[in-house]
Structure 1
Amino acid sequence: MAARLSEEIKLTKKHEEILAKRTDLLGQMESGCKQHREKREQHAILWQSARERNTRLLQDLQKMEERLSARPRLQPEIINLQTCYWESIEEKIPEWEDFLLGRGPPPSAHRGWSSRSLKRKGAPQDRSKVKVTGLPPRASTKCAS
């Protein structure tokens, strides 16, 4: 009978250990479920705020498009001047590239411009004292009107 009693005591202790482990695991599962629910709620809040922000951005873009479409168009002469200007800039880029990148002197130093070449009809005479190097390229008048 003593053997049965000691065996029953062992089984009771093991049962209590199993119940304690079960209680711990249930507590861990409940805390895990709670954390999961909280994360889901946070994601839902973030999703809703992102949706509202995107809606506001789309509305702002639509308002800007409306304002831009209502804006008066540029006159053809101004558009032509802009086109000619950018064409002349694009033509001169290879010439000025080394200078703009800091690898050499400005192209005017290679041309040997003198004060005589700068004098024009009706220009003031003291213009010969102006230092010529480093001037930007002049716009070409090749562009059709």
Structure 2
Amino acid sequence: MTSFFAQEVRLSKRHEEIVSQRLILLQQMQNKFGNQNTEKGSQLQAAETAFKRNLSLLKDIEAAEKSLQTRIHPDPRPEVVSLETRYWASVEEYIPKWEQFLLGRAPYPIGVENQNKAENTLQNETQQ
């Protein structure tokens, strides 16, 4: 009986040791988890601050770029705008004809006689 009692006391002491080790480990885990949460919070705050800073820098760069563009390329004169508008209207007019030619479904869109006239006019102008 004494051996059972001694074994019970030994097991009880061992149980207390294990429980105290468990409590220590739980406390360490809670501390580590708290530190990780604090770290994550500060990292999130730093990331948000960096994002705001980068966004501000990007806006500043875009404003500077726009300012430089207006200095380098001022608004075109009305004559240039008119020529550009007529050019694109002409392009849009000829797109269907050229599209069929480029897809191989139609002959060359400008007649040979028109092309020869243009070449002759160009040659006459260069000779003068």
Q: Any stretches of 5+ residues in structure 1 without a counterpart?
A: 126-145
Greater mean deviation of Cα atoms: 40-49 or 74-83:
40-49
Q: What's the secondary structure of 1:119's corresponding residue?
A: helix
| Match status 1:47 vs 2:45 | no
- Cα root mean square deviation, aligned: 3.0
Aligned mates of 1:77, 1:46 — CA distance in 2: 51
Give a deviation string over 1:71-129, Cα, whole Å, max 9, x none.
Answer: 643221111111111111122222222455xx327752x65x33x4322574437xxxx
Q: Which runs of 5+ in 2 are unaligned?
A: none
Find the aligned partners of 2:77 and 2:55 in 1 and give their Cα distance: 36
2:104 corresponds in structure 1 to: 104
Percent identical residues: 23
TM superposition score normalised by structure 1: 0.62
Does 2:106 align with 1:81?
no
**Cα gap change, 1:44 to 1:123, in 2 (>3 Å):** closer
Identify, as 1 or 2, the structure richer in helix. Answer: 2
Please give the alpha-carbon distance, in whole angstroms, between the structure 2 residues aligned to 1:68 and 1:83. Answer: 22
Using the TM superposition, give the Cα deviation of residue 16 of structure 1 relative to its aligned residue in structure 2, in angstroms.
Answer: 1.2
| Alignment match, 2:97 | 95
Q: Distance in 2 between matches of 1:39 and 1:5?
A: 51
Trace 1:1-145 onto structure 2 (pairs within 5 A). Answer: 2=2, 3-67=4-68, 72-100=74-102, 103-104=103-104, 107-108=107-108, 113-114=111-112, 116-117=113-114, 118-119=116-117, 122-124=121-123
Q: Which moved more, 1:34-43 or 1:64-73?
A: 64-73
Change (3 A) 1:85 1:107: farther
Contact 1:98 1:104 (8 Å CA) reproduced: yes
TM-score computed with the length of structure 2 as normaliser: 0.69
Kept after mapping to 2: 8 A contact 1:99/1:106: yes
